Amino acid sequence: MKRLKMIGVCMVLIAAVAFTIPSEKYFDIAKSLDIFTTLFKEVNTYYVDDVDPKKLIETGINGMLNQLDPYTDYIPEEDLETFSIQTTGQYAGVGALIGIINKKTVITNPYIGFPAHRGGLRVGDEIISVNGQNVQGKPTSNVSALLKGKPNTEVVMEVKRLGVKEPISFKLIREKIKISNITYHEMIDKEVGYIKLDEFTPGAAKEVGTAVTEFKKLGAKKVILDLRDNLGGSLYEAVNIVNLFIPKGKEVVSTKGKVEDWNKSYKALNNPLDTEIPLVVLISSSSASASEIVAGSLQDYDRAVLIGQKTFGKGLVQTTRQLAYNAQLKVTTAKYYIPSGRCIQAIDYEHRKSDGTVSKFPDSLKREFKTQGGRKVYDGAGLDPDVSVEVTTYSSVVIELVNSGLVFDYATKYCSENPNQASMKNFRLTDQGYQKFVTWVAEQKFTYATELDQKADELITSAKREKYYNELQPQFNELKAHIDQNKNTALIRNKPELTHILEQEIAFHYQLTKGQIEVMLDRDPELTQARKVFADAESYRKILSAN
């Protein structure tokens, strides 16, 4: 059956390309597919051990697609539900993200307004069982599958909560979950409305429009749209969001690919919400795809000031194609071009090096374009912000502490010991509170390796190879001792950065994304810069002017 399925897929591919390519290439494709089919048959029949035909074929498919770009994916039937959730933001369950933290399956984000949150589950609760089935030590995919189910069905969860001796049982009724694209929208002062947009699933533009309308009713005179770390999503939602701020009929983005009939220009089809209100868009190196369409189009029309860091540079469009047996192929079919005519794709997947790696487009190949008002912009490397803000960098101890899960666990501990916190806007961790964290980390016997450790070990290995180690051993011992001494004081040296990270994690435990954002409102570098730009109307105008 597996071989017949493979032959069927191959014949479909041959038929699809036979009318569009030269006969020599058609012969090469037919020859290669025939070799692959006969090779698979021989391996399946004669290989010394039993092979899993499905796994073998999927390995071959994924190996082939790995030669293209990371966005072209094979989606087998069993993964369709996960793919649907990612693209639509909808599923049926209890409405909570789960994750493994220090070998425990815990609630990491109970979505506001859904069964888990309404029922009283908290960030940090450890899931012990689901419907009587012990899930300790199980993969999150298994636990997630147990929590999902048909709407209006009951699920019983048992959790351990820090500070509570006995396990707590929750009876929840599953329901359809539609994750909001906007995770926060509030007036951050009397004149400025702030929107944190994290997704581009269906409804994103409507949510943004509703938020802006609310702001204007409250007297907002300026708007900040935060697209930092937004990896993108629906092209249509991106077009409709841009349409909120530019006149009807203006082009937002166009796509160009191999199949000319699929090339399309996407224009603003509706009357805009507001074409005059001053607008800032926050971007980062992880702003990609639909985020870049929104930010780039608004930049090309001189409609918004971009603040932050250079964006990711994903100017590729994916289309989902149906395969046999309910499988699907998400395939890159085109590049998109924003109104100035530039494509912001930063990685050149077409020209791979001999070792298979890919590079960014070199500066020599970048071309100059102009915005509607005559400002110079460039293609081939993502979007450059109009106002750059240096990205915060962290030392190895900070990164390792966060990755270890100890920051998360300490936030859980802090909240269990301090259950009452009203507003996160004024929440600050005291010096005494930070020292308690340092003491607690020491009790957990936290260890980590730095780049200096690695370099010192490499130097010692080299010295041994070159027969110098015995002579230099005292100096090496002294070096290692200095490194260890510095590691012992690392938490004190990194106190400012770790304090901010702790405050954000604790605030998230208390009030989820709302708390996490509000605790940093007055200290967020990009938000601070946006407020400075808004405070000076002439500065805002000059940034958007070619002169």
Same domain assignment for residues 428 and 444:
yes
- Which CATH number characterizes residue 124's domain? 2.30.42.10
From 178, 194, 217, give the residue that closes a domain.
178
Does residue 439 lie within any of the structural domains? yes
> In angstroms, rounded to a whole number, what is the distance separating the alpha carbons of residues 401 and 447?
9
Does residue 515 lie within any of the structural domains? yes
Same domain assignment for residues 546 and 431:
yes
Same domain assignment for residues 293 and 193:
yes
Same domain assignment for residues 358 and 261:
yes
- 116 is in which domain, residue-wise? 90-178
- Which CATH number characterizes residue 338's domain? 3.90.226.10
* Residue written as token pair 């000076």: 536
34 included as an active-site residue: no
Does residue 209 lie within any of the structural domains? yes
Same domain assignment for residues 410 and 531:
yes
314 included as an active-site residue: yes
Same domain assignment for residues 128 and 275:
no
DSSP 426-455: T----HHHHHHHHHHHHHTT-----HHHHH
Residue 89 confidence (pLDDT) = 66
Q: What is the pLDDT along the chain (547 residues), one digit of tens a residue?
A: 444 344 444 444 444 444 445 567 778 888 888 998 998 999 989 988 888 888 888 888 888 888 888 888 888 877 777 777 767 767 788 999 999 999 999 999 999 999 999 999 999 999 999 999 999 999 998 999 899 989 999 999 999 999 999 999 999 999 998 889 999 999 999 999 999 999 999 999 999 999 999 999 999 999 999 999 999 999 999 999 999 999 999 999 999 988 888 899 999 999 999 999 999 999 999 999 999 999 999 999 999 999 999 999 998 888 888 988 888 999 988 898 999 999 988 877 776 666 666 667 676 677 899 999 999 998 877 899 999 999 888 988 899 999 999 999 999 999 999 987 778 988 999 999 999 999 999 899 888 877 777 888 888 888 888 888 788 888 878 887 777 777 778 889 899 999 999 999 999 999 999 999 999 999 999 999 999 999 999 999 999 997 7
Q: State the DSSP code for 158.
A: E
* Angle between helices 495-518 and 396-404 in degrees, nearest 10: 50
Same domain assignment for residues 201 and 291:
yes
Which one is catalytic: 289, 291, 297, 340? 289
Q: What is the pTM of this model?
A: 0.85
- For residues 22, 25, 30 and 34, what is the CA-based torsion angle, rounded to 10 degrees? 170
Residue 23 confidence (pLDDT) = 65
> In angstroms, rounded to a whole number, what is the distance separating the alpha carbons of residues 147 and 91?
11
Same domain assignment for residues 111 and 55:
no
222 included as an active-site residue: no
Residue 79 confidence (pLDDT) = 78
> In angstroms, rounded to a whole number, what is the distance separating the alpha carbons of residues 330 and 72?
5
* Residue written as token pair 């240096």: 390
Same domain assignment for residues 387 and 468:
no
Does residue 26 lie within any of the structural domains? yes
> In angstroms, rounded to a whole number, what is the distance separating the alpha carbons of residues 231 and 228?
9
Residue 480 confidence (pLDDT) = 79
Does residue 78 lie within any of the structural domains? no
Number of domains making up the chain: 4
- Give CA angle at 96 (95, 101), nearest 5°: 170
From 156, 178, 200, give the residue that closes a domain.
178
* Residue written as token pair 């698979």: 40
Does residue 74 lie within any of the structural domains? no
From 351, 376, 391, give the residue that closes a domain.
391
Does residue 328 lie within any of the structural domains? no
Same domain assignment for residues 447 and 353:
no
Same domain assignment for residues 427 and 540:
yes
Residue 10 confidence (pLDDT) = 47
Phi, psi torsion values for 96, nearest 5 degrees:
-150, 135
Does residue 267 lie within any of the structural domains? yes
Closest CA to 301 of 247, 346, 344, 263: 247
Same domain assignment for residues 195 and 172:
no
Which one is catalytic: 314, 340, 409, 524? 314
> In angstroms, rounded to a whole number, what is the distance separating the alpha carbons of residues 275 and 257?
32
Instruction: Confirm if 60 and 44 have CB atoms less than 8 A apart.
Output: no
The token pair at 29 is 């494709």
> In angstroms, rounded to a whole number, what is the distance separating the alpha carbons of residues 9 and 60?
14
Which one is catalytic: 69, 125, 300, 386? 300
